[in-house]
Amino acid sequence: MQQFQQIQEPDTFVCACGFSCHYKSEKEMEIHIDNCPVYSAYSDFMKYIERKDIQNANVDQLRVLKAEAKVYISRIEMMLMIYSQSQQPILQKVPSQTVQCEKCKKQFEANSDFDKVWYLENCSHIICKDCMFKICKEDFLPKKSNVTCVCGERFKDQEIKQILGNEIFEQLTEKLNLSLQNIIECCNCKERFCFQKGNIEEKIQDQNGKLVQGEQLKHYIENRFKCSKCHTEQCKNCMSVPYHTNMTCEEFKINKAAVKCRLCDQPTEIQKNQPEALQIICQQQECQNRAKKLCTIKLQCGHFCQGLKNTQCLPCLNEKCAKDQNEDDYCNICFTEALKSQPCVQTTCGHIFHEDCLRQKLDAKWNGPRIVFNFMKCPLCNKFLDIQVPHFKKSIEEGQALLKEVQELCLQRLKLEEKEKDKELLDPTHQFYQKPLDYSMHIYCYYLCFKCKKPYFGGLKNCQQAADQDPKVEFKQEDLVCTKCCPLLTLEDKCNKHGVDYIDFKCRHCCSIALWWCHGTTHYCDPCHRNIKTNMTKPCPGLGKCPLGIPHKPNGQEMSLGCSLCRAERLKAK
């Protein structure tokens, strides 16, 4: 147990100059202290007063000093009262009085921490200087210099200036004056221009797709601007970057200080009954569903993994640790949510995406009728995807098998059509020089048969590009039927040399080769398919002028043209 040594309370005040008087003779003691240069030389308190240079202080500074002195005197009187009422001897170690900051509630020693706290003149509250600086700097512009204590009492201008310092105070004052004149300064490039309010009729949505309305919409119209020079989006009032959509400045300030869900960034309460990694996830159903798949491991750096549960942990995505992609970057597949909003996976090429977005990308495959393999490539580096997560294995393998099959068919058709000597493959300056696989994949279109799920030839790529660019073309998967699955194909149509893989049908309505099988009844060429209508059948121009170059049934009837390779050989022989 700590021992305290009793000391005798002295009766006489003795100055270093030799003067002495009884402590009860307060007036005599005050006169001596005020006039004695020796006492002023060794007294810490007198040195502090002299440093204040009160003779050159203005009225506001003197009032603040007076308030500080009163507070100090009141503490001394309180301690004297405690001593006078105590029946025990005064001990050498008496706990010193503490004061509490009204803002952060931190405790300070009344004497030793005297220079760390600020005593407000108007309301007499005590706020630590760190909190005072933060309040003054953050609230000066939004509240138009009417900075207030937590009790609502306004700070004096001189107090604000002393806390901020002349340089910051003058900068904020200049910005405030510009704002009052409707002139704004970009916080990034410092460009100045006249502010123009937005359109109140404009429909504004926040990052979660929620419509901005009421007071928040009014604030958006009156304060949100985008610099015309550097395009930085910011708030005219509080200068936050980017603008806090669907929140006023005050709401944004509260939101910024609140505990936020690690997935949706909305204020939430700590769920202490959950694992540590899931304690700050809100109760919204979407976030709860995502949390079920989220990894709960804490990384060596102290941040939580953003990957999938029961899989290898991702590199840390916190901005303090991340090297390339960080948690605030958008997913490069959906471009609507940050990476931190969902569980993520990393490809072997090193890029990170939302697990759900990557799964949907692989499941959706390609848009339009033509088989393309962009769905199997990384959106950032264009390399073929490889993901070391078990449930992606099937999709990746199916895509690779289809790719291999289409590549073989392209090379086979290139050889059969004798295109291996095309100038694109022989010209050293061409991108396809000595690259037959890339060239054949580039010029040929292959579709996936709706019935047998096998790829089949659908013409040249430039024909399909024309169809893709035509808004009238409606793509239906059931229209994509290969020759083998066409109900009009007969045994007589089968080629003894090439089988049925190269059988063509004539367009029902004109003298062109069909690429589309629609409604389960009709073959169309591209132009006719883009303009399906009644009475669209065109008469054949005659054998000498017919594009097909062979006799055929009258237009308006279905007809097989036989093997395209054999037909090409016959035409070439002529």
Instruction: Report the C-alpha gap between 461 and 413 in whole angstroms.
Output: 14
Question: In a 10 Å sphere around its CB, with 0-12 CB exposed, 13-18 middle and 19+ buried, how is residue 349 labelled?
Answer: middle
Q: Please provide the distance, in angstroms rounded to a whole number, between the alpha carbons at the two ends of the chain.
A: 118
Only one residue has tokens 């194909």, namely: 489
DSSP string, 434-462: T-HHHHHHHHEEEEE-TTT--EEEEEEHH
Paired with 226 in beta bridges are 233
Classify residue 101 by burial, with Cβ atoms within 10 Å: 0-12, 13-18, 19+: buried
SS (H, E, C) 117-142: EEECCCCCCEEEHHHHHHHHHHHCCC
Q: How far apart are CA 237 and CA 195, in angstroms?
A: 12
Is 518 part of the annotated catalytic residue set? yes
Kindly write down the DSSP assignment for every residue of 29-73, as one continuous string. Answer: HHHHHHH-HHHHHH-HHHHHHHHT-GGG--HHHHHHHHHHHHHHH
Point out the catalytic residue in the list 238, 507, 518, 528. Answer: 518
Residue type, 179: S
Cα–Cα distance measured from residue 108 to residue 117, given in angstroms and rounded to the nearest whole number: 8
Q: Strand pairing partners for 211?
A: 205
> Cβ neighbours of residue 147 under 8 Å, at least 6 residues apart?
135, 136, 139, 140, 154, 155, 160
Q: Compute, in degrees rounded to 10, the torsion defined by CA atoms 279, 284, 286, 289.
A: 50
CA–CA gap between residue 141 and residue 164 (Å, rounded)? 13
Identity of residue 293? K
Which residues is 480 bridged to in the sheet? none
Catalytic residue among 21, 187, 463, 485: 463
Q: Please choose, from the candidates 441, 432, 433, the residue with its C-alpha nearest in 3D space to the C-alpha of residue 413.
A: 441
Residues acting as catalytic residues: 463, 518
